[in-house]
Amino acid sequence: MPKSPELEHPQKVFGWAARDTSGVLSPFNFSRRVNGDNDITLEVHYCGICHSDLHAIKNEWGNSVYPMVPGHEIVGVVTEVGSNVTKFKVGDKAGVGCIVGSCRSCDRCTQDMEIFCSNTAILTYNCEYYDGTRTYGGYSNKFVVDEHFGIQFPDNIPLDATAPLLCAGITVYSPMKYYGLSQPGMHLGVVGLGGLGHVAVKFAKAFGMKVTVISTSISKKEEAIDRLGADDFLVSRDPDQMQAAVGTLDGIIDTASAVHPLLPLISLLKNDGKLVMVGAPDKPLELPLFSLLMGRKLIGGSASGGIKETQEMINFAAKHNITADIEVIPMDYVNTAMERLAKGDVRYRFVIDVGNTLKSS
Q: Quick one: pLDDT band at residue 1, thresholds 50, 70, 90?
A: low
DSSP assignments along 77-105, one per residue: EEEEE-TT--S--TT-EEEE-SEEE--S-
Domain with CATH 3.40.50.720 in the chain: 168-301
Question: Distance between CA atoms of 95 and 75, rounded to whole angstroms?
Answer: 4
pLDDT in tens, 153-174: 999 999 999 999 999 999 999 9
276-320: pLDDT as tens digits: 999 988 788 999 999 999 999 999 999 999 999 999 999 999 999
CATH code given to domain 11-167+323-353: 3.90.180.10
Whole-model pTM: value is 0.95
Radius of gyration of the chain (CA): 20
Mean pLDDT along residues 121-148: 96
> Is the dihedral angle over the CA atoms 83, 88, 91, 95 positive or is it negative?
negative
Question: Domain 168-301's class?
Answer: alpha beta
Q: How far apart are CA 109 and CA 114, in angstroms?
A: 5
**What is d(CA 94, CA 142) in angstroms, rounded to the nearest whole number?**
12
User: According to CATH, where is 3.90.180.10 located in the chain?
Assistant: 11-167+323-353
Q: Kindly give, in sequence order, each residue whose CB lies less than 8 Å from that of residue 153, ignoring residues fewer than 6 positions away.
A: 75, 92, 93, 94, 95, 159, 162, 314, 318
pLDDT at 308: 98
Query: Which DSSP string do the residues of 255-301 spell out, in sequence order?
Result: ---S---SHHHHHHEEEEEEEEE-S--SSPPP--HHHHHTTT-EEEE
**End-to-end Cα distance, the chain:** 29
pLDDT bracket for residue 361 (50, 70, 90):
low
pLDDT tens per residue across span 219-230 = 999 999 999 999
Q: Is pLDDT above 80 for 146?
A: yes
Instruction: Tell me the mean pLDDT in the region 10-33.
Output: 97
